[in-house]
Amino acid sequence: MSEKELDDEPDSTDEEAVDSSLMGIDVAKTTDEDGDRIGSTETVIETRNLDVYYGEERALQDVNMDIHEREVTAIIGPSGCGKSTYLRCINRMNDLVEAANVEGEVRFNGTDMYGDDIDPVALRRRIGMVFQHPNPFPKSIYDNVAYGLRVQGRKVTDEKIERALRDAALWDEVKDQLDESAMDLSGGQQQRLCIARAIAVDPEVILMDEPASALDPIATSKIEDLIDDLAEEYTVVIVTHNMQQAARISDRTAVFLTGGELVEYDDTEKIFENPDDDRVEDYITGKFG
Amino acid sequence: MATKPETGESIRRERRFSLKEIKGKAFEGILVAATLVGIAALLVLFGYMFFDAVRPLTASAEWYLLFFATLVAPTSAFALYSRRHPAVRRMNARAFAAVFGGLAISLAAWVVFSATGPHGLLLYVLLASISPLAVAGYGKYVERSMFVGPAMVVVTLVVLLWTLGSEVLVFALFDLVGLLFGWIPVLGSLRPPVAPSILVTAVSTGGPTLAVLLYLLRRDSSRRSFAFVPVVAALSGLGTAGFDFWLQPTVDLLPDWVAYLGLVCLPVAAVVAVVVARRAAVRQGLTAGGAVIAGNLAVGVIALALSVDPSFWVVLFSGAVVPVGYVVGDAVVANRKGRVGLLGPFVLIGGVLFGALLEDVINATGPDTWITPTLLLSTWNGIEPTQAGAYAEIVGSIMIVSVMALMSFPVGVGAAIYLEEYAPETGPAGRFANFIEINIANLAGVPSVVYGILGLALFNNFLDFPPGIVISAGATLGLLILPIVIVSAQEAIRSVPDSLRRGSYGMGASRWQTLRNVVLPEAVPGILTGTILALGRAIGETAPLIVIAVPVRTSTPSGLFDSGAAVPLRIFASAANAIPAYRKGVLAALAVVLLALMLTMNAVAIVLRNRYQTDGN
C-alpha cells in the first residue's frame, strides 16, 4: 500500500465511524460533535522510561506512555512484543514472576507505584484486571462477584452484586441462578462474570488482557459493547491481537513491536488512518506480525 | 485436494497374518498376561486369607439361602433401582456416608474415649476451646477480624502445648544446648534457672501476649483493639496455670456420661448449629443445636431409667444418629428429589438383622468364623484360640493412627504449601528449596525400619520418653508418612490452575487470602486422599514399632503417654505361636480386621473427597 492511497483517504470525522484506508475497518471516533475529546484529559497512569527484563531477556524497552482517565486505551502488536508485560506492570502482577525485573517509573495518580512504600495488594484493589481466558473461581456466581469485596474486607450487599452484574450485562442471564456454580456458564458468560467481578470493587482502572480472544464472535461482540459502556465510568486498558477490535472500541491506541518497543501511541483514528511510523503501517496492513 | 501418493504404497494389508501383526498381538498378549497375573496373585492372597478367617464352607446351604433372601436380593434390587435414578443414587450415597461414616467415627471415638477415660479428654477440649472461643467472641465485639484468626491459633497451641507436656520440651531445649555447646563450660552446664512450671507459664503467657502486642503495634491498630492484649494474657495465663487447679477437680466429679455429653454432644451440637445457621438462619441453627442437646439428654435419661450406663449410647447418638438426622432432615426440609435413596443403608442393616433373627428360627448354621465378637472385644489369650481377642490392639492402633494424622497432616500440608506457594524459585535460596524438595521425594522411599531407628533416637534416647508410648509410636509413624503427605499435597496444590491464583491476586487478594479462598479449597480433595492413603499404609507398619519398643500388651493404652499397642504387632508376635489354630485362623482374622480398619479409613477419604468435589463444581 502506498502513501498516495493514504493521502486519498477523505477526512470523515463527522461520521459515526470512518472507513480506514489501511484496512477498511471501522474506527470509533474519538471526538464528539464539537470536536472535544470524549474522555477526560486527566492522566491516570504515566510510564516513564519503563524497562522490563525477564532474566537476561529484555521484554520492554524505554516505554513512555500516558493513559487517560475514562478512555479506552488499546495496546496492539505482534506476539511477544511485550504488550501483556506492559499491562502487568500497571498493577504489579509482574511481582509474581520472580525473574521479572522492572526498571523505570510507573505513576498512578502521580504516585510512583514501584516505590518502597507501595503495597501491591492495595494497588491491585484500585486497578482491576480481566484475563485472556475466563477464570471464574469454582464457587457460586454470587460468591465470584462478592470475592473482591470480601477479600478487601468490604461489606457485601445484594445491591452491589446486582449492580456489578448489570454493569457487566450479565444480570438478566443469571439472576435466577446466583447460587449455582460459575463453572456451568458458557465461556462468554464466564468472561463477563470476570468483568463483573472486577468492577464489583469499583476500581479506577480496568486492565484487560485479550479478554475476547478465547471467545466466539457473538460473545466477543457482547464484550466489546460492554467495554464501550464501561469507558463511561472507568479507565480501560485493553491488550488485543485483533486490530479491528482495537479500532472499534478504543480512543487511543499504542502499537508495540517486537523487542518491547512502543513504536507509536496516538488517537486511534490517527493510528489506523495515518500512522507516522512506517512499521506501524506495515503492521496494520498485515505486512508482518 | 488429495492426490495419490507417489510412492504407490498400498493401504491394503499384505497378508492376513503378517509378522508385524503377530508381533503387535504378542506384545498386547504379554501385557494382558502381566495384568492378569498381578490381579490373580492378589486375589488368591486375599481370598486365601479371607477363607481362613471366615471359613465360609462351614455354613449350611440354608444359611446362604436365608441371607440371599433377606440381604443380597433386596440390597441388589435397591442398588439396581438407584442406578437408574441419579437423584436417588446421590441421596443413597449421602445416607450411606452418614450412617456408616457416623458409625465408624463414633465407634472409634468410643473405644478411644473409654480407654483413656472421658474426664482428661474433656479437660483438653475445654482448655483448647474456651480460650479461642473467648478470643473470637471478643474480636466480634470490637469488630476487628484481622487478628482473631492468628490469636485463636496461638492461644489454642499454647494451651495444648502446656497440657501435652511442654516441660519435656523445655528440658529438651536445655539438653540440646548442653549437647551442642557442652564444650563451652558455661553453656554446657546451663539449666533452667527457675522451676520448669514457672518457666513454661512465663513463656506461654508472655509469648502470645508479646506477639499480639507487636502485631497491633506494627499494624497501627486502633486504640480499642489494644484491649486485646490483656485478654490474650489472661486467657493464656488461665489456660496454662488456672485450669489445672480449678477445672480438673470439678471435671473429675462429673459422672462419666455427663463428661461424654460435654466431650461429644456439645461439639457436635455446635457444628450442627453452625452448619444449619449458615444454610438457613441463625434461629434455625440454634433450634437444631438445641435439638441435638435435647436428644442427647433424652437418651441419657432413658438409659438411666433403664439402669444402663448411658455413656456408649450418648456417644453413638451424637456420632451416628445426629448425622443421619441431619441428612434426613435436610432432604425433607429442602424437599430434595430422590428421597427414597435414604432407605439404602437401612435396607442393608435391616437385611442383616432380619436374617440374624430368622437364623435361629429355621435352624440354619452360619459359618464357624474366626471374626467373632470375642476377637473384637476381649483381650488376648495365647492358649485358647477361640478366646483370643484383640480389643486392646485395635484401640491402640486407632490411637496411634489418630496421633499420626494429627502430627503429619498439619506439618506435611504446611510444608507442601510453603514449597509450592512461597519458596523462592531462583537464586541460592531457590536452589536450596529445590534441593529440599528432591530430598523429600527421596525420603518417601526410605525403609520403615530406618524411621524406627529415628524414633528410637529422638523419643526414647534423646527426649527420654518411656519406651513405646502411644505418642512416640504415632509420631514415628507420622515421620514415616510425612514425605508421602508432603509430596501428595504438593501435587494437589500444583494441580490448581495458575489462572485462578492470578485472578485472585488481580482482585486485590493477598497471598494468604488467595491460598485460603482459592487454592486450598481446590486442593483439599487431593490432599485428603493422599494423606489418608498414607495413613492406611502406615497403620500396618510393624518394624518401627518394634524398634521403639512398643510392647505386646493386653490392656488398652490409658492415654497418649501410656505404652501403645497395635494390631500388626500382635500379628507379628503371635506368628510364632505353637498352636496351629492361631496361624491358620486367628491371625488371618486379625489381618482381615487390619484391612477393615484401613478400608474404613479409605472409605472416609473417598467420602470426604467426593463431598469437596461436588461442593467445588
ipTM value for the complex = 0.82
**Sequential DSSP letters for B308-322:** ---HHHHHHIIIIIH
B394 is a domain residue: yes
Residue A243 · residue A76 · CB < 8 Å: yes
Report the C-alpha gap between A79 and B458 in whole angstroms: 58
> Which of A99, A121, A138 faces B426 most closely, judged by CB atoms?
A99
Spell out a b/e string for A49-83, using b for 16 or more CB atoms within 10 Å of the CB, else e: ebebbbeeebbbbebebbbbbbbbbbbbbeeebbb
Task: Read off the pLDDT band of B39 (50, 70, 90).
Answer: very high
Long-range CB pairs of B196-203, under 8 A, 24+ apart, other chains included? B196/B167, B196/B170, B196/B171, B197/B167, B199/B170, B200/B162, B200/B166, B200/B167, B200/B170, B200/B240, B201/B237, B201/B240, B201/B241, B203/B170
Q: Are B151 and B283 within one domain?
A: no
Q: What is the pLDDT of residues B416-458, one digit of tens each?
A: 999 988 888 777 888 888 888 889 888 888 899 999 999 999 8
User: Residue A26: its pLDDT value, please?
Assistant: 60
**Option in A91, A153, A181 nearest B506 (CB):** A91
Amino acid code (one letter) for B522: E
Q: Clarify whether residues B148 and B111 are in a common domain.
A: no
Q: Is B458 within the bounds of a domain?
A: yes
Q: Which residue from B minimizes the CA distance to A125?
A: B508
Mutate to test the interface with B, among A94, A121, A184 (most CBs of B within 10 A): A121
8 A C-beta contact, residue B110 and residue B134: no
Within 8 A of A99 by CB-CB distance, chain B residues are 426
- Cβ contact (<8 Å) for B426 and A98? yes
What's the pLDDT at A3?
A: 42
Closest-CA distance, A155 to chain B, in angstroms, reads 13
CB B326 within 8 A of CB B98: yes
Contact B508 A122 (CB under 8 A): yes
Same domain, B425 and B574: yes
Single out the residue in B318, B337, B356 at which a domain terminates: B337
| Statement to judge: residues B111 and B124 lie in one domain | no
Beta-bridge partner residues of A102:
A52
Interface contact A133-B500, CB threshold 8 A: no
With contacts defined as CB-CB under 8 Å, which chain B residues touch A129? 506
Calculate mean pLDDT across residues B537-558: 88
Nearest Cβ partner of A152 from B145, B146, B508? B508
Interchain proximity A201–B513, CB inside 8 Å: no
Cell numbers found for residue A37? 475529546
Q: How far apart are CA B126 and CA B251, in angstroms?
A: 10
Closest-CA residue in chain B for A208? B506
One-letter amino acid of B583: R
Contact assignment for A137 to B504 by CB distance below 8 Å: yes
B242 pLDDT tier (thresholds 50, 70, 90)? low
CATH number of A3-284: 3.40.50.300
CA angle centred on B356, ends B354 and B359, rounded to 5°? 110
Residue of A nearest to B503 (CA): A135
Show residues of chain A in contact with B502, CB under 8 Å. Answer: 93, 96, 131, 135
From A275, A273, A287, A271, select the one nearest A9 (Cα to Cα). Answer: A273
Q: What is the reported pLDDT for A118?
A: 83
**Chain A residue closest to B430 (CA)?**
A98
Residue of A nearest to B507 (CA): A148
pLDDT score at B283 = 84
Kindly state whether residues B316 and B412 are assigned to the same domain.
no
The SS3 assignment for A65 reads strand
Domain boundaries, chain A: 3-284
B115 and B397 in contact (C-beta within 8 Å)?
no
Chain A nearest CA to B343, separation (Å)? 28
Distance from CA of A117 to the nearest CA of B (A): 14
B427, B309: one domain: no
Say whether B507 and A147 touch across the interface (CB within 8 A): yes
Structural domains of chain B, count: 4
Around Cβ B285, how many Cβ atoms within 10 Å?
A: 19
Shortest Cα–Cα distance, B146 to chain A (Å): 9
Name the residue among A93, A197, A201 with its Cβ closest to that of B505: A93
Residues B218 and B275 in one domain: no
Per-residue pLDDT, A277: 85
Q: Which residue of A has its CA nearest to B616?
A: A138
Cβ contact, residue pair A136, B507, below 8 Å: no
Kindly report the number of other CB atoms within 10 A of residue B172's CB atom.
16
Q: Which among B503, B510, B616 is the nearest to A135, CB-wise?
A: B503
Q: Is the pLDDT of residue B375 over 50?
A: yes
Q: Does residue B82 lie within any of the structural domains? A: no
Across the interface, of B145, B499, B509, the residue whose CB is closest to A151 is: B509
Residue A18 forms beta bridges with which residues?
A27
The stretches in chain A having pLDDT less than 50 are: 1-21
Domain identity same for B50 and B112? no
**Contact assessment for residue A245 and residue A275, using Cβ atoms and an 8 Å cutoff:** no
Q: Does the global pTM surpass 0.80?
A: no
Cell numbers linked to A75 = 495496546
> What local confidence, expressed as pLDDT, does residue A20 receive?
47
Q: Inter-chain contact B508–A147, Cβ cutoff 8 Å? A: no
Indicate if the pLDDT at residue B167 is higher than 70: no
Q: Among A98, A124, A138, select the one facing B508 at the smallest CB separation.
A: A124
In a domain, B87, yes or no: no
Is A138's CB within 8 Å of B617's CB? Answer: yes
- Tell me how close the Cα of A31 comes to any Cα of chain B, in angstroms: 32
- Model confidence over B92-151: pLDDT tens digits? 888 888 888 888 888 888 888 888 888 877 877 777 777 777 777 777 776 666 667 777
Three-state SS annotation for B188-250: HCCCCCCCHHHHHHHHHHHHHHHHHHHHHHHCCCCHHHHHHHHHHHHHHHHHHHHHHHHHHHH
Residues B417 and B325 in one domain: no
Question: Which residues of A fall within a CB distance of 8 Å from B521?
Answer: 138
Q: How far A273 CA lies from chain B's nearest CA (Å)? A: 35
Give the sheet arrangement for strand A57-68, strand by strand: A111-112, A100-108, A43-54, A57-68, A261-267, A252-257, A72-76, A235-239, A205-209, A127-130
The per-residue pLDDT for range A107-154, each reduced to its tens digit, is 888 888 888 888 888 888 889 899 888 899 988 899 999 998 888 888
For A213, the grid coordinates are 480472544
Residue B320 placed within a domain:
yes
Domain carrying residue B264:
104-116+256-337
Pick the residue with more confidence: B521 or B6?
B521
Distance in Å from the first CA to the final CA of chain B: 45
Is B614's pLDDT higher than 80?
no
Judged against a pLDDT cut of 90, whether residue B486 lies above it is answered with yes
In this structure, are B250 and B260 located in the same domain?
no
State the best of B219, B496, B507 to mutate against chain A, taking most chain A CBs within 10 Å.
B507
Same domain, B277 and B242: no
Within a domain: B77: no
Sequence-ordered list of residues with C-beta below 8 angstroms from that of A262, at least 6 positions apart, any chain: A62, A63, A64, A65, A254, A255, A256
**Same domain assignment for residues B214 and B235:** yes
A91 CB neighbours in chain B (<8 A) are 506
Closest partner CB to B518 (pick from A137, A183, A201): A137
Query: Is there a contact between A124 and B507 (Cβ–Cβ < 8 Å)?
Result: yes
Q: Does residue B496 sit within a domain?
A: yes
Highest mean pLDDT among B180-184, B258-262, B591-595: B591-595
For the stretch A248-258, pLDDT in tens is: 888 889 998 88
Q: Taking CB atoms and an 8 Å limit, are B507 and A93 in contact across chains?
A: no
Of how many residues is chain B composed?
617
| Chain A residues whose beta carbon lies within 8 Å of the beta carbon of residue B522 | 138
Q: Which helix (H) or strand (E) element contains residue B356?
A: helix B344-361
Return the CATH number at B433.
1.10.3720.10
Least CA distance to A201: which residue of chain B? B507
Are A137 and B503 in contact (CB < 8 Å)?
yes
pLDDT interval class at B615 (50, 70, 90) = very low
- In terms of Cβ atoms closer than 10 Å to its own Cβ (0-12, 13-18, 19+), residue B297 is middle
**Which residues partner with A28 through β-bridges?**
A17
The beta-carbon neighbor of B503 closest among A99, A131, A152 is: A131
Q: How far is B396 from chain A (nearest CA, A)?
A: 41
Nearest to A125 among B499, B508, B518 (CB): B508
Report the residue from B425, B499, B510 with minimal CB separation from A121.
B510
Under an 8 A CB cutoff, do B503 and A194 touch?
A: yes
- Determine whether the interchain pair B508/A201 forms a contact, defined as Cβ–Cβ distance below 8 Å: yes
Under 8 Å CB pairs connecting chains A and B tally to 75
**Is the per-residue pLDDT at B334 higher than 50?**
yes
Nearest Cα residue in chain B from A196: B507
CA separation for the pair B86, A3 (Å, rounded): 68
Mean pLDDT of chain A: 81
Q: How far apart (Å, rounded) are the C-alpha atoms in residues B156 and B178?
A: 30
Give the per-residue pLDDT at B137.
Answer: 77
* B76 assigned to some structural domain: no
Are A148 and B508 within 8 A, CB to CB? yes
Conformation bin of residue A11: beta by default, left when phi > 0, alpha when psi is -120 to 50: beta
Largest CA distance in chain B: 98
